[in-house]
Chains A and B, each alone.
Chain A
Amino acid sequence: EPEVTQTPSHQVTQMGQEVILRCVPISNHLYFYWYRQILGQKVEFLVSFYNNEISEKSEIFDDQFSVERPDGSNFTLKIRSTKLEDSAMYFCASSEDRVRADTQYFGPGTRLTVL
């Protein structure tokens, strides 16, 4: 069964450093998303991406964040200057097309720890 993959599974970084989280969505999917979950809290939407541009972003997704689809398979989330409060689980998700866009499949997540 096709699945979304994410690397690394765990990233530890120093405050102020840049991190890039990587995702490989399901191959025939067209819509891509990033969500985050701070420990003990709910899953929160960050950004959606379609046709090589951002479709929607939340208030959390400020200028420190950016997304990119550098090639035909990867989808990345960059945090330019990490803060302690960026420590969270980051989930990538993808969905197939506009009709089935509400059915999103999540990757296993990257645990980001900012020290």
Chain B
Amino acid sequence: RKEVEQDPGPFNVPEGATVAFNCTYSNSASQSFFWYRQDCRKEPKLLMSVYSSGNEDGRFTAQLNRASQYISLLIRDSKLSDSATYLCVVILTGGGNKLTFGTGTQLKVEL
């Protein structure tokens, strides 16, 4: 089983739509969780950390369910500029600071 699993997509949505991405992780000892965004042939950029209580940053909401080992990202009122690949990332307890990446979910926002 992959350490971090994501639906690769692509998700094609119209501008203004709400879209949700899911991610599951295999190691229950994972301690830190993030969503990164990666544009084509560019570096990953931190979008937001994910906390057990859930957190929101503008149009973006992240949720963590430790019992189900499941992380989600919700994007409301999607913009053309949201088109990118969204990477689910975890750090394992005792894993130092090593980021473990999922393969990413591709989002295409269309007019």
Contact = CB atoms under 8 A, between A and B. Distances in A.
* A and B physically associate: yes
Interface of A: 31, 33, 35, 41-45, 48, 55-56, 58, 89, 91, 95, 101-109, 111
19 contacts: A33-B97, A43-B101, A45-B98, A45-B99, A45-B100, A56-B97, A56-B98, A95-B97, A102-B32, A102-B91, A102-B97, A102-B99, A104-B46, A104-B97, A104-B99, A106-B45, A107-B43, A108-B43, A111-B41
Most chain A CB within 10 A, of B34, B41, B95, is at: B41
Interface in B43-87: 43-46, 49, 87
B96 A43 contact: no
A59 to B, nearest CB: 12
Interface residues of B, number: 22
B44 A43 contact: yes
B42 interface: yes
Contacts of B44: 43, 91, 106
Contacts, number: 55
B41 A105 contact: no
Contacts of B100: 45
Contacts of B41: 89, 111
Contact of A55 (B87, B96, B101): B96
A109 to B, nearest CB: 5
A92 to B, nearest CB: 9
Contacts of A109: 42-43
A5 to B, nearest CB: 11
A68 B98 CA distance: 18
Nearest to B38: A43
Contacts of B101: 42-44
Contact of B46 (A101, A103, A107): A103
